[in-house]
Structure 1
């Protein structure tokens, strides 16, 4: 089964090279978006003459938790649709790493062919929930492209974060025009909204359905989600939920990432280090990738994972009497 890996990256070219090298198995293509704020030449230098790697030219200034992340992802999808091979498209970041061997990844996808892998967190966001007011009704206004440098302009009849919004207005960071948005109820493109982790893996059929839906409704979708906080955790989830209402062929399983959001006393999600090897290799068969890693902080955890995966391949070869 061919795999199209789409990757959002912004830092550490050598770590990205290592990720691609680990996943390269002769039946994988890689489509990479480098944040427009990042110098791309260092990345290009790591992949000279790599025919299976494409750096897409349509780059976006990506902002954390912002629609710009969705735009970059859509640009990657466009590349896959226009030139990629049929098979699963798997969405990763440059700070992910496999915790299963390529043999195990391929076997899992073959075994579960016909399923889409994404977390919708079980049900749409309920209107009575505070997240609905923040993620569906309010407007997100970017002050700059720096992380956290934004304000939430609440719908006046659903007030949230009012003090912070007006404080930034007084500091002349929010225009009067933006502030007046609080009197305008947002026109929502969907009756129900879903959320979940950003990462997913879609079959060719479903990827084409999502791509077609976006193209047919692009103006409305872009107009809404460009003012939606954490739209990268809602955009594909909500579109897929809408498609599933009339397409019984779309069947879901949980997303393929392991991410630790629960450890106390550290910045979350956890940046894994050499002490986390047992936690990573003990994950169930449906967790194929983990995030996040930073080789500048600790490259030994990647060495340990490589060693473990190599041992898995040797064991499989011994069992089967052939190369895995």
Structure 2
């Protein structure tokens, strides 16, 4: 049991938003610290405005920032940067990942009471995936079963980017149809997927950060891996055993 009652809120934002203003105001509480990753592409971000909204919490805009590309591994990089910065600062009871568009539905006091009553439990959307049974599951499986080389160009316009995306698709087809490669089976990965948002206790965050090399090995050449990496890591670590009737993982 973690005796520290403080919570860390980890927020990813890509532009100035009114919803982000409201989010900060709703999270402002003496037992909350707020960590914010501002997308590196965001220019003229109004830091002073957001700092002026906070009276009780600590508000930290993290220094290790990334240009987050939709579907790219940079989404993982940003999450890990938030987790690492928060964990280096303090041994928090819980770490909550949110976007700048999210809003809590309960007061900070009620949220803290809930997690105190359920201390140590993992709140994460997670679905094991070993043998895809439909097109939806097959698409998820292929996010890392074949290697990708130009994922970072998916959301960039221009002829060069389009050509590289096309080349990436041809490379995928060559691996999938000709070579019959399956990186998941090759590495013996116990794949799982779910929403990227979470509420995790400190011991789980430590486990994630201790396994950064495995995360890089498994997911650096995949796409939309932000919905895979924590789920897969926790499944492989034995936190989501299908045999256990007392799993510490609770689905939202």
TM-score (norm 1): 0.62
Q: 1:137 to 1:20 in 2, by over 3 A?
A: same
Partner of 1:124 in structure 2?
Answer: 129
Q: 1:226 to 1:54 in 2, by over 3 A?
A: same
Structure 1 stretch displaced more, 138-147 or 38-47: 138-147
Partners in 1 of 2:164 and 2:106 — Cα distance?
A: 50
Write out per-residue CA displacement over residues 127-157 of structure 1, whole angstroms, 9 at most, x where no aligned residue. 55523552232234436555387xxxxxxxx
Write out per-residue CA displacement over residues 83-142 of structure 1, whole angstroms, 9 at most, x where no aligned residue. 134210011000000111222211211111120100113x33425552355223223443
Structure 1 stretch displaced more, 30-39 or 40-49: 40-49
Q: 1:207 to 1:30 in 2, by over 3 A?
A: same
1:147 aligns with 2:155: yes
Query: Matches of residues 238-249 of structure 1 in structure 2 within 5 Å?
Result: 238-244=232-238
3-state secondary structure, aligned to 1:73: helix
Structure 2 spans left out of the alignment, 5+ residues: none
3-state secondary structure, aligned to 1:57: coil
Give the number of equivalent residue pairs: 232
Query: Matches of residues 96-245 of structure 1 in structure 2 within 5 Å?
Result: 96-121=102-127, 123-127=128-132, 129-131=137-139, 133-142=141-150, 145=153, 147=155, 171=163, 173-175=165-167, 179=171, 182=175, 183=179, 185=181, 187-188=183-184, 189-214=187-212, 218=213, 220-244=214-238
Structure 1 spans left out of the alignment, 5+ residues: 150-167, 256-324
Write out per-residue CA displacement over residues 198-226 of structure 1, whole angstroms, 9 at most, x where no aligned residue. 10111111111221122xxx1x5324312
CA apart distance, 1:8: 0.6
RMSD between aligned alpha carbons? 3.3
Partners in 2 of 1:246 and 1:120 — Cα distance?
A: 8
> 1:10 is matched with which residue: 10, 14, 23?
14
Partners in 2 of 1:33 and 1:111 — Cα distance?
A: 29
CA apart distance, 1:62: 0.6
3-state secondary structure, aligned to 1:41: coil
Q: 1:173 to 1:206 in 2, by over 3 A?
A: closer
Write out per-residue CA displacement over residues 164-190 of structure 1, whole angstroms, 9 at most, x where no aligned residue. xxxx999565459x8386248354454
Partner of 2:59 in structure 1?
Answer: 53
Radius of gyration: which is bigger? 1
Partners in 1 of 2:80 and 2:53 — Cα distance?
A: 26
CA apart distance, 1:65: 2.5
Q: 1:179 to 1:10 in 2, by over 3 A?
A: same
Partners in 2 of 1:114 and 1:108 — Cα distance?
A: 12
CA apart distance, 1:22: 0.7
Write out per-residue CA displacement over residues 7-39 of structure 1, whole angstroms, 9 at most, x where no aligned residue. 111123443232111111110001100111112
